[in-house]
């Protein structure tokens, strides 16, 4: 019996060691670099896609009442020159929005040729979508403001941007982190480029170490049903990297709260590519003094903004 127990103990220890080795399995640097290269290509493809950020050509805020729109300067909202002179009128009345399309213009509203329609903003998953030639648009709501977000599928920027400058891929910037979960969620203030502040829930803090110094970041997302999302600024901001911070997705932690922050996947916000985005900014809690020499850098083609 004693021998059996001894063997069982030894087996348990060996099993534990194997489990630890599996959990801490070394990553092949070449395989890792390839995975980041593939991720970069997918990232660029997404930026160039129909719902990407490189085809934005306009953001027009609506006023209360009637908002005639088209390329003619007589309109309240002036579309690019290759659009029809007079397309129609968007009516904003106490938060209710509708559109009337002129009789001589064809516009697809939710894939149907219509002349009148009530509009649902991007605050709802059933956002009303407009199509006309190479143009696409919908109505966004930011605070108490409503605006037309206009895309052109033939925007020159799509072909002008062939890569996103980035630091060399470095496996050392894939940093182990621990998520300290709260008993109850708290709220964090997240400002945006419009000067507004939104409050979002956060469920804990990510803690990690760079060169023997501990840092922390506050992510949004619950880390259970969804990955974390982090907006941060660091010592490279406005120098090597975009001045208004960068975005980062962090995988959900395991049962012990362990995860990895892969700074090689730090991305520029949409505002780094276009003036027609309404980006959130890093909360003050996520401005760290370390220099994160990883991820996307300033896109010189667009500028520092």
CA distance 126 to 213: 46
**Region of poorest pLDDT, from 4-8, 190-194, 200-204, 294-298:** 4-8
CA–CA distance, 275 with 132 (Å, rounded to integer): 22
Sheet strands (E) in the chain = 56-61, 65-70, 77-78, 88-93, 96-101, 108-109, 112-113, 116-118, 130-132, 135-142, 145-152, 174-191, 197-210, 213-217, 228-232, 246-250, 258-262
Full domain range(s) for residue 222:
161-305
Using the predicted structure, report yes or no on whether residue 31 has a pLDDT greater than 60: yes
| Alpha-helical runs (H) found in the chain | 2-23, 29-48, 157-160
Residue of 151, 160, 173 whose CA lies nearest to 296: 173
Tell whether 297 and 225 lie within a shared domain.
yes
- Indicate if 174 and 262 belong to the same structural domain: yes
> Whose CA is closest to 198, among 100, 279, 121?
279
Is the pLDDT at 103 greater than 90? The verdict is yes
Residues 262, 59: Cα–Cα separation, whole Å? 33
CATH of the domain at 62: 2.60.200.20
| Predicted local confidence at residue 256, as pLDDT | 96
Number of domains composing the chain: 2
Q: Are residues 166 and 145 in the same domain?
A: no
Please identify, among 139, 160, 181, the residue that sits at the C-terminal boundary of a domain.
160
pLDDT of residue 26: 85
pLDDT digits (tens, 9 = 90+) for 118-163: 999 999 999 999 999 999 999 999 999 999 999 999 999 999 999 9
Q: Quick one: 280 and 190 in the same domain? A: yes
Beta strand 56-61 with 145-152 is antiparallel
Are 79 and 119 part of one and the same domain? Answer: yes
Residue-level pLDDT at 24: 53
Averaged over 22-47, what is the pLDDT?
89
Question: How much is the pLDDT for 177?
Answer: 98
Please state, for a pLDDT cut of 90, what percent of the chain lies above it. 89
Band (242; pLDDT cuts 50, 70, 90): very high
Residue 9 has pLDDT above 60, yes or no: no
| 260-291: pLDDT as tens digits | 999 999 999 999 999 999 999 999 999 999 99
Instruction: Find the farthest-apart pair of alpha carbons in the chain and give their distance in angstroms, rounded.
Output: 96
Residues 194 and 148 in one domain: no
Residues 165 and 302 in one domain: yes
């Amino acid at each position: 019996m004693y021998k059996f127990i001894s063997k069982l103990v030894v087996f348990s220890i060996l099993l534990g060691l194997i489990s630890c080795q599996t959990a801490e399995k070394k990553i092949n640097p070449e395989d890792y670099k390839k995975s980041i290269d593939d991720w970069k290509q997918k990232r660029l493809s997404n930026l160039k896609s129909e719902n990407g950020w490189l085809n934005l050509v306009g953001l027009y805020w609506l006023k209360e009442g009637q908002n005639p729109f088209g390329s003619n300067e007589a309109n309240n909202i002036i579309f690019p020159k290759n659009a029809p002179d007079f397309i129609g009128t968007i009516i904003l009345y106490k938060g209710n929005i509708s559109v009337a399309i002129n009789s001589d213009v064809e516009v697809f509203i939710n894939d149907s040729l219509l002349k009148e329609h009530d509009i649902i903003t991007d605050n709802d998953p059933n956002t009303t979508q407009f199509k006309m030639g190479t143009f696409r648009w919908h109505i966004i709501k930011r605070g108490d403001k409503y605006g037309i977000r206009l895309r052109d599928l033939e925007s020159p920027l799509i072909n002008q941007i062939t890569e996103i400058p980035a630091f060399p891929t470095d496996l050392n910037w894939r940093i182990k982190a621990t998520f300290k979960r709260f008993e109850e969620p708290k709220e964090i203030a997240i400002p945006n480029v419009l000067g507004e502040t939104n409050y979002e829930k956060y469920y804990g803090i990510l803690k990690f170490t760079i060169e023997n110094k501990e840092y922390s970041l506050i992510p949004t997302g619950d880390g259970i049903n969804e990955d974390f999302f982090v907006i941060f600024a660091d010592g490279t901001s406005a120098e090597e990297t975009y001045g208004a911070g960068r975005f980062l997705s962090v995988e959900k932690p395991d049962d012990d709260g362990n995860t990895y922050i892969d700074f090689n996947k730090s991305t520029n916000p949409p505002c780094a590519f276009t003036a027609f985005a309404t980006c959130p900014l890093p909360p003050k809690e996520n401005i760290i003094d370390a220099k994160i020499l990883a991820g996307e850098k300033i896109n010189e083609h667009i500028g520092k903004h």
